[in-house]
Amino acid sequence: MYVIHSLRDKMKRIQSPSSINTYFQCPRKYFFIYNLKMPTSPSIHLVRGTIAHSVLENLFVIEPAILSENFENELKIISLELLKKYWAENKKDLDVLGLLEEELNRYYEETQMMMLNWISHFVKKIKKETSKGLSISEAFVKLKPQTEVLYSSDEFMIRGYIDAIEEIDGEIRLMDYKTSKKSEITKEYRLQLGIYALMYQLKHGMLPHKVGIYFLKDAEKLLEVDEDLIQNAKFMIEQIHMSTDGMDEIHQYPKKESPLCKWSNGQCDFYDYCFKGKLVPEKPLR
């Protein structure tokens, strides 16, 4: 038996949208990552996502007064300089991936296009505000979101970072950035956004008006926040606590076979443990 001996494991575990989605994707994978603390393989998509988030978070640190009538080009230049900066700062993580130089260059250029695409959409919003009489700097300040805000709930034992919280003309939107190929709000994304809306409500005593995702390859996609979204989030949070709290043995986390176990050019990090009889560690790795 694989039992985790710690006082914390006898308490309710703090969950996140990521851990909850991992559990419902495959309970066994959840066990390996969150109980046994086993590492996952590095991925260009994860590293690139971290870099893109850093760029968009720090874009709003600039002083709005520096923006001129040529603000569209200025914002593009700033975003590309930030991308260059954070790409260099993550060189160690990129090198670990073992990609060929041309592959890395392709991902870099693709990320450049994502940043420029996002800037184009943001510029349209600025122009809409300036058409109402605001100056460029006033429009920038009005559209500027709170970024990377940590929310948590002791009642529901959940926590998570919201990428961007926008409040424009009395409408509150909680937004997430995604670099994924497909620009659709899947059930996993819907759950993530529902949890964000619930945490916002618990802290502020009111619901946000909308939640959504900035698909950096495409455009923003939004959901109206309604009772169904909130109730689904509450239900799934309740389900994961019922399924994991006090559950510390591997047999309590059945593997869920799906195309995510193995595909044409890769496999789950834990495939050999599930299907090849590789020895499972008897205690957490860290």
Pairing of strands 171-178, 158-168: antiparallel
For 186, the token pair is 């899947």
226 Cβ contact list (under 8 Å, min separation 6): none
Which residue's structure tokens are 């205690």? Answer: 283
Query: Partners of 150 in the beta sheet?
Result: 161
Read off the DSSP letter of residue 15. Answer: B
Phi, psi angle pair for 233, to nearest 5°: -60, -45
List the one residue out of 172, 234, 240, 179 whose CA is nearest residue 207. Answer: 172
Beta carbons of 209 and 171 less than 8 angstroms apart: yes
User: What predicted TM-score, i.e. pTM, was given to this entire model?
Assistant: 0.91
128 Cβ contact list (under 8 Å, min separation 6): none
pLDDT of residue 286: 66
Beta carbons of 64 and 141 less than 8 angstroms apart: yes
Q: What's the CATH class of domain 146-239?
A: alpha beta
DSSP output for 96-124: HTT--HHHHHHHHHHHHHHHHHHHHHHHH
What are the boundaries of each domain within the chain? Answer: 146-239
pLDDT of residue 101: 95
What does the pLDDT look like over 32-77, one tens digit per residue?
Answer: 999 999 999 999 999 999 999 999 999 999 999 999 999 999 999 9
pLDDT of residue 13: 87
pLDDT of residue 181: 85
pLDDT of residue 279: 95
pLDDT beneath 70: ranges in the chain: 1-11, 286
Beta carbons of 118 and 213 less than 8 angstroms apart: no
Beta carbons of 175 and 211 less than 8 angstroms apart: yes
Beta carbons of 237 and 195 less than 8 angstroms apart: yes
DSSP output for 205-263: SS--SEEEEEETTS-EEEEE--HHHHHHHHHHHHHHHHHHTT--SGGGS----STTTEE
